[in-house]
Structure 1
Amino acid sequence: MPSYQTKTQWLALVILGIMSALLLVVAITAFSIYFYGRANRVVKTDAAIVLGAAVWGDKPSPVFRERINHAIHLYKRGVVRTIIFTGGVGKNDDTSEAVVGKRYAMARGVKETDILVETESHTTHQNLENAQKVADKYHLSKFLIVSDPLHLKRAVLMAQDMGMDAYPSPTPTTRYRSFKSQFEFLMRETYFYFVYLVLKY
């Protein structure tokens, strides 16, 4: 009959094996999120959906500005015909993220008739859900999802789960430049990716 010490050692090995397996899954997922956002194949679509981010008064934050600029670039190249801005009013803001994005884009040559907005969302899932409702009204069915590279694996998975014909379009530049900021963003996205897989929200 195994001794108490042998049982304890066996249990410790089992726990170590489970923890190692979990760490391996997390690491593989984090790598897949990182490399997914680095792939940037251009797909011509009906619209670019710009995922919301913080605004500073009536101006986009640096993170949001990068996303808007990328969408404008896609529009001017003829890759998309329409830009859909998403995002509601933040806690300490007076103007919605979507409206700030629209004004910024119009000031840089995007026609107002080629811009759609949804101004109620506060999460990535809501961004996409509400954008889809807006797009349906205009019979738009194929989309580029515009956001920071590390955000895109989760966002595109959400969009595809909603039945959208969606493709990633990462910003070529990002405000998350230092190793520390990128690592923190990657860890956060890895966490939320697993949360979405479990809760689907």
Structure 2
Amino acid sequence: MTLEVELPEPQPEEPAAEEREDRPRERRRRPLWFTIPVSVLLGLLAIAVLTPLTVGARIWYQARQDERPRSDAIIVLGAAQYNGAPSPTLKWRLQHALELYRDGVAPAIVTVGGKASGDNYTEAGTGRAWLIEKGGVPASKVFAVPVGRDTLESLKAVGTEFDRHHWKSAVIVTDPWHGLRSKKMAGDQGIEAAASPTRSGPSVQTRDTQFNYIARETGGYLSYVLLGRSVQVPDETIKRIRIDPSGTPSSPSSPSASASPSR
């Protein structure tokens, strides 16, 4: 007699815990209507943050360069003048340009800048007079371009002056943080420009001041590159001062002292 025994069917074994952890988990894919806008938004945010940081770094780097290639002329960008006497900012620029001229960097100097309403003297004319009378530069080697109330307007006029003399290259004298923007503007006028900044003045006094100037110049550079506009720089000396004949800054003794804002 045969006894039949029904054996239970084998049940599939459940994978061990370690094997379960090794299996990749299936993720739900986000819909394209969500992924694409978020990606675009993040990209724009990255551009908005990285672009000013990159420009600010370039301004900081350019400010530390002292470029003195042999050039056709030295360009002194305008700053405030007081009844025909250079403000401290303009005087520092003129002294630096005089040093470059004496070192043989260029055989000519171009002073730049117009005048504000009510002024009797232009920044360019004041600078030219100082270089001839105080610096001993021959009058035939100093050219005034008394045009412009901002850097772009002035450098457009300088470009015309360079074309008239068949000049191609220049070393620009200005404040350290202004070097990158002024080189870009000069280059757009067909001038092969280098920058040799001054190392004195309000713009280099403290780290806070330097940071503020870098931030302002970052905005100015982006405004020019993106919109083609220049910016009017506020008076760097804050309070109006007058330069006496000895060259020492003093408080104004007369309300008629004429001033133009630095830039």
2:131 corresponds to = 105
* Contact 1:117–1:131 (8 Å) recurs in 2: no
Q: 1:57 Cα deviation (Å)?
A: 2.1
Flag structure 2 segments of 5+ consecutive residues without an equivalent.
1-27, 29-33, 230-263
Distance 1:141 1:13 in 2: 46
1:54 corresponds to = 80
* Contact 2:125–2:146 (8 Å) recurs in 1: yes
Note closer, same or farther for the CA distance 1:92–1:178 as it changes in structure 2 (3 Å cut).
farther
Distance 2:117 2:173 in 1: 23
1:161 corresponds to = 188
What secondary structure is seen at the aligned counterpart in 1 of 2:129? Answer: helix
Which aligned pairs between 1:29-108 and structure 2 lie closer than 5 A? 29-106=55-132, 107-108=134-135
Post-superposition Cα deviations, 1:45-68, rounded to whole Å, max 9, x if no partner, equal: 110011111112221111111111
Q: 1:120 Cα deviation (Å)?
A: 1.9
**TM-align CA RMSD:** 2.4
Q: 1:34 Cα deviation (Å)?
A: 1.0
* Contact 1:70–1:172 (8 Å) recurs in 2: no
Distance 1:49 1:41 in 2: 13
* Contact 1:88–1:96 (8 Å) recurs in 2: yes
Match of 2:183, as an amino acid? V
Note closer, same or farther for the CA distance 1:136–1:16 as it changes in structure 2 (3 Å cut).
closer
Q: 1:37 Cα deviation (Å)?
A: 1.7
Note closer, same or farther for the CA distance 1:134–1:24 as it changes in structure 2 (3 Å cut).
same
2:154 corresponds to = 127
| Structure-2-length-normalised TM-score | 0.68
1:178 aligns to 2:201 (yes or no): no
1:4 corresponds to = none
Q: Percent identity?
A: 31
Moved segments of 4+, more than 3 Å: 11-21
Post-superposition Cα deviations, 1:110-168, rounded to whole Å, max 9, x if no partner, equal: 11110001112111111111112122222222111111110010110111122212111
Flag structure 1 segments of 5+ consecutive residues without an equivalent.
2-6
Match of 2:120, as an amino acid? D
Aligned residue pairs, count: 197
Distance 1:60 1:136 in 2: 28
Which aligned pairs between 1:143-158 and structure 2 lie closer than 5 A? 143-158=170-185
